[in-house]
């Protein structure tokens, strides 16, 4: 049976979050989608919609003409209702010719298929344009939403919203426009034909059959969705356990736990087996019920026609025609369970996409915002207050200045608000009160694009795109030439390492750059900032996660990059900022101390305490390293000659 396809699990799992089924309606979703299916600026797509509807009607008329040709062929073969054929009466001759009618039957079936496929082909561009347009708008909108939104949501969840929304649009268009609407049109035309060719009793019986069929399909599908959800959950559980066990292959071997892992997996598969059986059994119940309801309706109409044939009011052709018309109606009706289920899930998925689109960006350009004009690069924080949560203030009246071309460092204990300063300067958040000025311009009054184009960032945790080294460096300035990319790498002291790699600048860095060491990733981040050549530079704990040797090399590259630029350095390791023009010590969102390294040490305050603790910790590490080296020295064999020449990566 055709409905066997409905056993697919797509769309049966109702998400636990987002809008509920009651809130998300098919009519509301179609109202949202209509501007994309009928776009005001695309006359060509509108014409495709019109032609699709014309072809839909033509295809259904061809579908209903098939039983007529079948009837006429049967009547011609049995000689029913055929008056003596006059040579001048071509219509009667055509109808009375069984060969012509049989050929017409085949031609109508071909025409029906051609028109249906032609309609699908013409409408495909409309549907996929709507999918592409909405996916693009959602993707752009996700980038416009604030950092707060992205920190509150899982990235995987957002990509699933985009993916399921895109898939949902395809399902709605395919099922509603290409399945549901044609079925409604076909049922309507069938009722008209039954009333015209037969009488109201046929219409009533067929209507009752369709209503009972659809109601039964709705009830049974709702029941099956819950069963299918349990099967999907057990499938996910079994798959998760299998992957987890295989990823921990060595651990399983260490503890001789193969049997235990196999039993855990088999327990999940036993649950999957049990729920799968219920799923297939419920499908059989659904299909059986549908077949019984339809067959009763079919039999009733055929019985009425058989009585008409016996009474002489109908022909054998009428009897065959009723059967053919009802059988043709069965296939689209048989898909209604699948159509209902998939439309139901698609509506929820699309509603989730629209709920993301309806979120207003927290950070927006004000009306009439002008581009930032950087003349010297002076940065000033003027009585800045900020809180992620109103009940927990982070910055409490912060005022300081980074003079053009100078370096100011921000230090302080964890949670003092250091990284918040860089986020506010980039306008990933807006200040609660006060203002941030660049060359006398409030950053809330300029465009975000021009603001961020003027600031370069080297973060603590550099995340790279899963592409080549050249791609990741060029990200700093997309129109840069290969020569400029390579010069930026040279200034960041990563060019020698890149050229040692077999593929050079075309080396793939892996997901999130995991094929590179921490120092290499930082150098790539520095290189793309060099390529961007911003007048203002922010270094957000750029070396805190590196070992001492790598930190020293990266520090040299950073000093070279920040020369003659306005630089704001957020530091964890105080040894990296001893040369700063001014050091600001934050404590609980306020400036506790400020001055040069020497002045702050001499004052013996918070900065001096932090400096002494870090120096003691460093000396302790160095002492332990010397002891370890001394213990290993007697047993250590001389290194091979080839091992003396190590790459920067190996040194790290």
Q: Could you read off the pLDDT of 152-207 as tens digits, one per residue?
A: 565 545 666 677 777 777 777 777 777 777 878 878 888 888 888 888 888 898 88
Tell whether 211 and 190 lie within a shared domain.
Answer: no
Asked if residue 81 belongs to a domain, the reply is: yes
Tell whether 580 and 590 lie within a shared domain.
Answer: yes
Q: How confident is the model at residue 638 (pLDDT cuts 50, 70, 90)?
A: low
Tell whether 31 and 120 lie within a shared domain.
Answer: yes
Question: How much is the pLDDT for 462?
Answer: 73
Tell whether 50 and 63 lie within a shared domain.
Answer: yes
Burial class (CB in 10 A: 0-12, 13-18, 19+), 479: exposed
Asked if residue 641 belongs to a domain, the reply is: no
pLDDT digit string (tens) for 249-274?
778 888 888 888 888 888 888 888 88
Last residue of a domain, one of 512, 533, 554: 533
Last residue of a domain, one of 485, 508, 533: 533
CATH of the domain at 555: 3.40.50.300
The CA radius of gyration of the chain, in Å to the nearest whole number, is 37
Question: How much is the pLDDT for 418?
Answer: 79
Question: How much is the pLDDT for 3?
Answer: 40
Tell whether 471 and 552 lie within a shared domain.
Answer: no
Contact 601, 593 (CB under 8 A): no
Tell whether 83 and 40 lie within a shared domain.
Answer: yes
Report phi then psi at 607, rounded to 5.
-60, -45
Tell whether 228 and 187 lie within a shared domain.
Answer: no
Share of the chain above pLDDT 70, in %: 82
Domain interval for residue 477: 462-533
Residue 567 DSSP SS3: strand
| Total of domains in the chain | 4
pLDDT average, residue stretch 379-408: 85
Q: Which residues pair with 512 in a beta bridge?
A: 464
In 3D space, the residue among 461, 311, 399 whose CA is nearest the CA of residue 590 turns out to be: 399
**Of 234-238, 541-545, 589-593, the least confident:** 541-545
Tell whether 495 and 571 lie within a shared domain.
Answer: no
Whole-angstrom Cα distance, residue 240 to residue 485? 43
In 3D space, the residue among 625, 592, 81, 30 whose CA is nearest the CA of residue 347 turns out to be: 30
**Of 40-54, 245-259, 347-361, the least confident:** 347-361
Last residue of a domain, one of 505, 533, 561: 533
Query: pTM score, two decimals?
Result: 0.59
Q: Which residues contact 70 (CB under 8 A, 6 or more apart)?
A: 105, 317, 320, 321, 324
Tell whether 379 and 412 lie within a shared domain.
Answer: yes
Tell whether 563 and 624 lie within a shared domain.
Answer: yes
CATH of the domain at 97: 1.20.1560.10
DSSP per-residue letters across 505-566: GG-B--TBTTTS-HHHHHHHHHHHHHHH--SEEEEESTTTTS-HHHHHHHHHHHHHHHTTSE
Convert 352-383 into a string of H (helix), E (strand) and C (coil).
HHHHHHCCCCCCCCCCCCECCCCCCCCEEEEE
pLDDT digit string (tens) for 486-535?
888 887 778 888 888 888 888 888 766 677 777 778 788 888 888 888 88
Tell whether 188 and 214 lie within a shared domain.
Answer: no
Asked if residue 640 belongs to a domain, the reply is: no
Tell whether 193 and 83 lie within a shared domain.
Answer: yes
Q: Is the pLDDT of residue 405 over 80?
A: yes
Rounded to the nearest integer, the mean pLDDT of the chain is 77
Whole-angstrom Cα distance, residue 220 to residue 291? 13
Q: Which residues contact 4 (CB under 8 A, 6 or more apart)?
A: 283, 287
């Amino acid at each position: 049976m055709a409905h066997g396809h409905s056993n697919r699990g797509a769309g049966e799992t109702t998400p636990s979050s987002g809008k509920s089924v009651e809130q998300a309606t098919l009519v509301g979703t179609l109202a949202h989608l209509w501007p994309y299916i009928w776009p005001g600026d695309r006359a060509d797509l509108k014409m495709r919609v019109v032609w699709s509807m014309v072809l839909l009607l033509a295809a259904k008329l061809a579908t209903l003409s098939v039983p007529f040709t079948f009837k006429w062929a049967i009547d011609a073969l049995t000689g029913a209702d055929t008056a003596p054929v006059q040579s001048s009466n071509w219509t009667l001759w055509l109808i009375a010719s069984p060969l012509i009618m049989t050929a017409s039957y085949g031609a109508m079936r071909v025409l029906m298929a051609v028109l249906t496929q032609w309609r699908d082909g013409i409408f495909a561009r409309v549907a996929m344009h709507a999918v592409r347009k909405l996916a693009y708008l959602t993707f752009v909108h996700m980038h416009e939403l604030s950092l707060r939104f992205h920190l509150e949501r899982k990235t995987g969840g957002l990509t699933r919203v985009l993916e399921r929304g895109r898939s949902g649009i395809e399902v709605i268009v395919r099922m509603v426009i290409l399945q549901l609407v044609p079925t409604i049109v076909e049922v309507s035309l069938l009722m008209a034909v039954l009333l015209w060719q037969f009488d109201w009793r046929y219409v009533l019986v067929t209507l009752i059959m369709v209503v009972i069929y659809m109601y039964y399909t709705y009830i049974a599908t709702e029941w099956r969705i819950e069963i299918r959800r349990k099967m999907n959950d057990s499938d996910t559980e079994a798959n998760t356990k299998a992957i987890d066990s295989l990823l921990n292959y060595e651990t399983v071997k260490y503890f001789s736990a193969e049997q235990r892992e196999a039993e855990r997996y088999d327990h999940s598969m036993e649950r999957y087996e049990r729920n799968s059986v219920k799923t297939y059994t419920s499908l059989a119940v659904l299909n059986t019920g549908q077949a019984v309801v339809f067959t009763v309706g079919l039999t009733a109409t055929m019985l009425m026609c058989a009585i008409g044939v016996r009474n002489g009011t109908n022909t054998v052709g009428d009897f065959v025609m009723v059967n053919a018309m009802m059988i043709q109606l069965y296939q689209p009706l048989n898909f209604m369970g699948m159509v209902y289920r998939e439309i139901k899930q698609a509506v929820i998925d699309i509603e989730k996409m629209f709920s993301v689109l309806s979120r207003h960006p927290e950070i927006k350009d004000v009306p009439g915002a002008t581009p930032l004009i950087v003349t010297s690069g002076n940065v000033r924080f003027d009585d800045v207050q900020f809180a992620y949560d109103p009940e927990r203030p982070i910055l409490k009246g912060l005022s300081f200045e980074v003079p053009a071309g100078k370096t100011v460092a921000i230090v302080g204990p964890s949670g003092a608000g250091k990284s918040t300063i860089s986020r506010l300067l980039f306008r990933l958040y807006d200040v609660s009160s006060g203002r941030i000025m660049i060359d006398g311009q409030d950053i809330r009054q300029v465009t975000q694009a021009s603001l961020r184009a003027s600031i370069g960032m080297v973060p603590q945790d550099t995340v790279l795109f899963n592409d080549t080294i050249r791609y990741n460096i060029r990200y700093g300035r997309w129109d840069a030439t290969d020569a400029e990319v390579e010069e930026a790498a040279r200034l960041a002291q990563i060019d020698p390492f890149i050229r040692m790699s077999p593929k050079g600048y075309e080396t793939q860095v892996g997901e999130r750059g995991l094929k590179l060491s921490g120092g290499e990733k930082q150098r790539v981040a520095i290189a793309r900032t060099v390529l961007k050549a911003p007048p203002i530079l922010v270094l957000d704990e750029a070396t805190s996660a590196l070992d001492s040797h790598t930190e020293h090399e990266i520090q040299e590259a950073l000093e070279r990059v920040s020369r003659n630029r306005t630089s704001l350095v957020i530091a964890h390791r105080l040894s990296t900022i001893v040369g700063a023009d001014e050091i600001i010590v934050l404590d609980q969102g306020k400036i506790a101390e400020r001055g040069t390294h020497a002045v702050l040490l001499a004052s013996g305050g918070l900065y001096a305490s932090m400096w002494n603790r870090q120096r003691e910790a460093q000396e302790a590490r160095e002492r332990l390293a010397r002891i370890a080296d001394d213990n290993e020295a007697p047993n250590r064999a001389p290194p091979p000659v080839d091992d003396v020449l190590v790459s920067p990566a190996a040194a790290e």
